[in-house]
Chain A
């Protein structure tokens, strides 16, 4: 029975096979030209862990697939102005295995390490995680908390934007037609900085966040929090930067009363859906809990450097 279903499944895909062109340009200019010249449905291919599934389920039927992994800027990881720039098509594992980046931004790396399985992380890219625009994407709240920016190219040239401006709703982004997210810039870290990302899932692996929380903070020499960013995932139609939660930490020693205020502000900002993975009430409560734990871990890390 199992094999029969598999066989029928593949026949259905076979019948639907229309002409789909595959291109692997070597430069950004060539990629932009291909996307601009595509009058029909064009799709970008990076790790493919979302796009290939969407193609096979029939949810999308592109006429042109543009594989960006042959473009050097899309695949590079390099120090820049004291921070790091990494290509949007770099695989999760390549990012995780970059020691200097992982040391500087452990919270970002923790978030990437939670995506799918080892098999998935060998392919899936952070650019794809962002542009697929799932509200539950793990790397997105961590990158927003980190203050990461994206570099974008398109038919009208180059621009850059903070990560939080890219997703606009489930499966939707602010990118114009033909625009490509090329790379992410993680800024230079002041001394005594730490970041963390934690999520709640019923299982420890291979699950989708019911709530995710990213916190990034910087202390001064006296242990007072001078900068903070708090971002929540899976509690709204997109990752939510919560300035009120950050404000509760700034100026404090990140002690219990500050953490209480921060958790309350995080919960108050949530506008989650109610579904089988978590009720609205549960997500709102757990968002505060996860934000608190993430802040505590970020604090420990900030004290350690």
Chain B
């Protein structure tokens, strides 16, 4: 059977790919487009490791089919830094050592950026709720929350 032909935008670039109906957006990003920064954790939408934005909305790429990306604008971790210049969130994650094994980190960063776009001055509680869909089994979250709050301060120019 013919595969589905899909045109979309990924990190600002027009892309075209062929996919089987049952391939998720995560499968397509990693296996077809070779953008392996987005991680698979649980594969069931519980852990948030595969978080990307689709038309500006934070989603689990494991819960969306590749074929549904037709005409959509997708942003992944590969598009977060501006060339060699890291995004403030990326820098603050490094400064605060807000990661250990790193598997949750791309999803955390995408979710944190999405949170700060909606709410540039979140409380600690708002950060914790904003990242509630992203599980980290290493850090205990404290350093992640501190890094996000610090990045928010810097991005506001405070």
Contact among B1, B58, B59, B133 for A206, CB-based, below 8 A: B133
A75 CB to nearest B CB, Å = 13
Interface size on A, residues (CB 8 A): 33
Q: Which of B4, B57, B64, B70 is A52 in contact with, Cβ under 8 Å?
A: B64
> In angstroms, how far is the closest chain B Cβ from the Cβ of A12?
12
Residue of B with least CB distance to A120: B45
Main secondary structure of the interface of A (DSSP, over half): mixed
Least Cβ–Cβ distance between A207 and chain B, in angstroms: 10
Contact between chains at A49 and B63 (CB < 8 Å): yes
> Whole-angstrom distance between the alpha carbons of A10 and B95 in the complex?
35
Number of interface residues of B (CB under 8 A): 34
Residues in B whose Cβ lies below 8 Å from that of A22: 4, 21, 65, 67
Residue of A nearest to B43 (CB): A56
**Interchain CB contact (< 8 A) of A122 among B4, B43, B58:** B58
- Chain B residue at minimal CB-CB distance from A67: B68
* A187 touches B (CB below 8 Å): no
| Distance, CA A17 to CA B133, complexed state (A) | 29
Q: In chain A, residues 214-237, which have Cβ atoms closer than 8 Å to a Cβ of chain B?
A: none
Total inter-chain residue pairs, C-beta < 8 Å: 87
**Contact with B22, one of A2, A20, A49 (Cβ below 8 angstroms):** A20
Q: Which A residues are in CB contact (< 8 Å) with B59?
A: 119, 122-123
Which of A9, A49, A118 has its CB near the most chain B CB atoms (within 10 A)?
Answer: A118
Q: CB of B24 within 8 A of chain A?
A: yes
Contact A116 B45 (CB under 8 A): yes
| A65 adjacent to chain B (CB < 8 Å) | yes
Q: How far is the CA of A117 from the CA of B132 in the complex (A)?
A: 7
Report whether B45 and A119 are in contact in the complex, using a CB–CB cutoff of 8 Å.
Answer: yes
Query: Beyond A22-B65, A122-B57, A206-B133, is A9–B21 a contact (Cβ under 8 Å)?
Result: no
Complex contact A48–B48 (CB within 8 A): no
Q: Does B111 contact A (CB under 8 A)?
A: yes
Cα–Cα distance between A19 and B20 once the two chains are bound (Å): 8
**Shortest Cβ gap from B13 to chain A (Å):** 23
Q: Is B37 part of the binding interface, using a Cβ–Cβ cutoff of 8 Å?
A: no
Q: How many Å lie between the Cα of A116 and that of B44 in the bound state? A: 11
With a CB–CB cut-off of 8 A, which chain A residues contact B146? none
Question: Which one of A6, A65, A117 contacts B21 once the chains associate, using CB atoms below 8 Å?
Answer: A65
Contact B45 A21 (CB under 8 A): no
- A20–B20 CB distance below 8 A: yes
B29-46 vs A, Cβ < 8 Å mask (1 yes, 0 no): 000000000001001111
Whether a CB of chain A sits under 8 angstroms from the CB of B60 is yes
State in angstroms the CA–CA spacing of A79 and B43 once bound together. 38
Determine whether A160 belongs to the interface, using a CB cutoff of 8 Å to chain B.
no
A163→B59 CA distance, assembly (Å): 28
Q: Which of A6, A17, A118, A120 contacts B20 (CB 8 A)?
A: A17
A13 within 8 A of B: yes
Contact of B65 among A6, A9, A52, A117 (CB under 8 A): A52
Tell yes or no: B51 within 8 A of A by CB: yes
Q: Is the CB of A53 within 8 A of B21?
A: no
Q: Are the C-beta atoms of A117 and B133 separated by less than 8 Å?
A: yes
- Interface members, chain A 62-82 (any B CB < 8 Å): 65, 67, 69
Residue of B1, B22, B133 touching A13 (CB-CB under 8 A)? B22
A-B contact pairs, 23 of them (CB 8 A): A6-B40, A20-B20, A20-B21, A22-B21, A22-B67, A48-B63, A49-B63, A55-B22, A93-B57, A116-B133, A117-B45, A118-B114, A118-B130, A119-B45, A119-B51, A119-B60, A119-B111, A119-B133, A120-B60, A122-B58, A123-B60, A123-B64, A205-B133
Please name the 9 residue pairs, one residue from A and one from B, whose CB atoms are nearest each other, closest first. A117-B133, A205-B132, A20-B21, A19-B1, A22-B21, A122-B57, A119-B60, A119-B133, A122-B59
User: Hey, which bits of chain A sit against chain B, CB under 8 A?
Assistant: 2, 6, 9-10, 13, 17, 19-22, 24, 45, 47-49, 52-53, 55-56, 65, 67, 69, 93, 116-120, 122-123, 204-206
